[in-house]
Amino acid sequence: MDTLAILGCGTMGEAILGGLAAAEGVPRVATVTVRRPEVGEALRRRYGVTVAPDTAAALAQVDVALLAVKPASAGEVLDAPGVTEALSGKLLISILAGVTTTKLAQWASSAAIVRAMPNTPCLIREGMTVLSPGPGATAAHLDTASRIFGAVGRCRVLEEKHLDAVTGLSGSGPAFACVILEALADGGVRMGLPRDVAVELAAQTFQGAARMVLQTGKHPAALKDEVTTPAGCTIAGLLTMEDGRIRSILARTIEEATRTAAGLG
């Protein structure tokens, strides 16, 4: 079984680490690098990983590297002493928004490269990840990446030209969904529900609606129509949403997030 190093184990890195730790038959995270010693100590206690002193030391112990640093730090990490040699013949998976496989190959020419865009629900194995193969990546490398991210949620492969939009939609999407969920819960509180009840109702409703789309294969509009009866409360609420131009606002949200993601590299 392959072993994995997470280079820059911050919020997203820990989400993947935690998801893999709860799964079976998947590559094992053996070592991580972090900026702050106290973060490394917490990860060591929580997950039993080794905290490496530097990138080259982390890579020496594993078969696969997961690059999870800030996009602006990619060059600094991959150009560090000994990294090129340590990456030779290995798989480098980057989750960096906006950093292309062509750019990564300039820093890590000795490695096979796959870009991945996961999201934070990987922590509870409900993530969504899109993979794109880069220079040197074979079907076997893509299979390894698919097993890693398939263990923490859904996974699919797309051309790299789509990854900025993927970042804007599913990468940033959990934050957008939480804002909408919070707003629905606020509406429940406004109408007299206790806060904890309103949040539970909104969250379970979101989860149930999403699972219905995925499991039935029906278009969201069809599922919406099924619950929208003539002169009922649902159509009244829907028209209020349309008064607020909610469709346009949400679509433009993804557009702006995509544009920003494209500039991060």
Q: What is the pTM of this model?
A: 0.92
Same domain as 104, residue 81: yes
Same domain as 21, residue 150: yes
pLDDT of 2 reads 84
Residue 27 has pLDDT above 90, yes or no: no
Same domain as 245, residue 219: yes
Same domain as 252, residue 222: yes
Residue 26 has pLDDT above 90, yes or no: no
Number of domain units in the chain: 2
Same domain as 57, residue 118: yes
CATH code for the domain of 237: 1.10.3730.10
Same domain as 183, residue 151: no
CA dist 220 and 20 (Å) reads: 31
Same domain as 152, residue 75: yes
In a domain? residue 221: yes
Give the lowest-confidence range in 25-29, 170-174, 206-210, 259-263. Answer: 25-29
Are 12 and 149 spatial neighbours (Cβ–Cβ below 8 Å)?
no
Sign of the alpha-carbon torsion through 228, 234, 235, 239: negative
Task: Write down which residue in 98, 129, 160 finishes a domain.
Answer: 160
Please state the rounded mean pLDDT for residues 188-193.
98
Q: Per residue in 213-265, pLDDT tens?
A: 999 999 999 999 999 999 999 999 999 999 999 999 999 999 999 999 999 87
pLDDT of 183 reads 98
pLDDT of 45 reads 94
Same domain as 33, residue 127: yes
In a domain? residue 177: yes
Same domain as 19, residue 132: yes
Same domain as 234, residue 183: yes
Same domain as 128, residue 25: yes
Task: Write down which residue in 128, 160, 192 finishes a domain.
Answer: 160
Same domain as 98, residue 40: yes
pLDDT of 182 reads 98
Domain that holds residue 45: 3-160
In a domain? residue 148: yes
Q: Per residue in 122-175, pLDDT tens?
A: 989 999 999 999 999 999 999 999 999 998 999 999 999 999 999 999 999 999
In a domain? residue 168: no
CATH code for the domain of 16: 3.40.50.720
Q: Per residue in 32-91, pLDDT tens?
A: 999 899 999 999 999 999 999 999 999 998 999 999 999 999 999 999 999 999 999 999
Are 107 and 78 spatial neighbours (Cβ–Cβ below 8 Å)?
yes
In a domain? residue 189: yes
Give the lowest-confidence range in 15-29, 112-126, 159-173, 178-192. Answer: 15-29
pLDDT of 25 reads 83
Considering the chain, what is the average pLDDT of its residues?
Answer: 95
